[in-house]
A and B are shown apart, each in its own frame.
Chain A
Amino acid sequence: QMQVQESGSGLVRPSQTLSLTCDVSGGSINSGRYSWSWVRQSPGKGLEWIGYIYHSGSAYYHPSLRGRVTISIDRSKNQFYLNLSSVTAADTALYYCARVSAVESCSGGSCYLNDVFDIWGQGTMVTVSA
């Protein structure tokens, strides 16, 4: 059973860069069936999608974070990464990494691929403070 686990700096100074690693175990990050995503949750708040990266290396980000966020992948280490620059207190949150499976669905004679967030890490708390 594949698992993902976050790690990284728990305290980041304002204006600095937040860097997190997600370790993938129990399977290969190279599989074309999966993409790899970051989601965050501010204390006591809901969930916010940050972005994800396809196995090919193409990455897509939430429009509100575009320009500050980079997600990358290291296939040799079976890891993917989150970098978020110019952080402020608003970036304080619990950061999750997740596996996103491409699932085919067919309806009315047409089929499409959907992205399903099916495996999540336990999350790592990042606080932005001087």
Chain B
Amino acid sequence: EIVLTQSPATLSLSPGERATLSCRATETIASYLSWFQQKPGQPPRLLIYDTSNRATGIPTRFSGSGSGTDFTLTISSLEPEDFAVYYCQQRTNWPPVFTFGPGTKVEMK
């Protein structure tokens, strides 16, 4: 089973700063890598799919990159509404099994 780890567990930043979130897989995965944002009391919201494609309506300050086992979500300049928990998700090829990382909390410094 592929396991995803995310680092750091918590990122303390101020509005306007750049956030770099890491997601690492225990083995090489295809581009089936998505990122979600979750705020308290809300369901996850899709940000990025296929490693680097922004979902509909997602601001351009969110970008994804990576390949193999290492993937990154970058928020170029944090807005107040960006403070939340971020999860990465991957899918095995066949049979399809989806796993989520444990999450990175981006908190206001």
Q: Which residues of A contact B (CB under 8 A)?
A: 39, 46-49, 52, 60, 62-63, 96, 103, 105, 107, 112, 114-118, 120-123
Contact = CB atoms under 8 A, between A and B. Distances in A.
Nearest to B51: A105
Contact of B43 (A52, A60, A96): A96
Contacts of A116: 34, 46, 49-50, 55
Interface residues of B, number: 28
25 contacts: A46-B87, A47-B100, A48-B100, A49-B98, A49-B99, A52-B96, A60-B95, A62-B98, A63-B1, A63-B97, A96-B44, A103-B49, A103-B53, A105-B50, A107-B31, A114-B32, A114-B50, A115-B32, A115-B98, A116-B34, A117-B36, A117-B44, A117-B46, A118-B55, A123-B43
B43 A114 contact: no
Interface of B: 1, 30-32, 34, 36, 42-46, 49-50, 53, 55-56, 87, 89, 91, 95-103
A93 B100 CA distance: 16
Contacts of A118: 46, 49, 55-56
Contacts of B95: 60
Instruction: Determine the main DSSP class of A at the interface with B.
Output: strand
Please report whether the interface of chain B is mostly helix, strand, loop or mixed according to DSSP: loop
Determine which residue in B30, B31, B46 has the highest number of CB atoms from chain A within 10 A of its CB, and name it: B46
Given A116-B46, A116-B49, 8 more contacts: A39-B44, A49-B97, A96-B43, A105-B53, A115-B91, A117-B36, A118-B56, A122-B42
Nearest to A94: B43
Contacts of B89: 47, 49, 117
B44 A120 contact: yes
B46 A46 contact: no
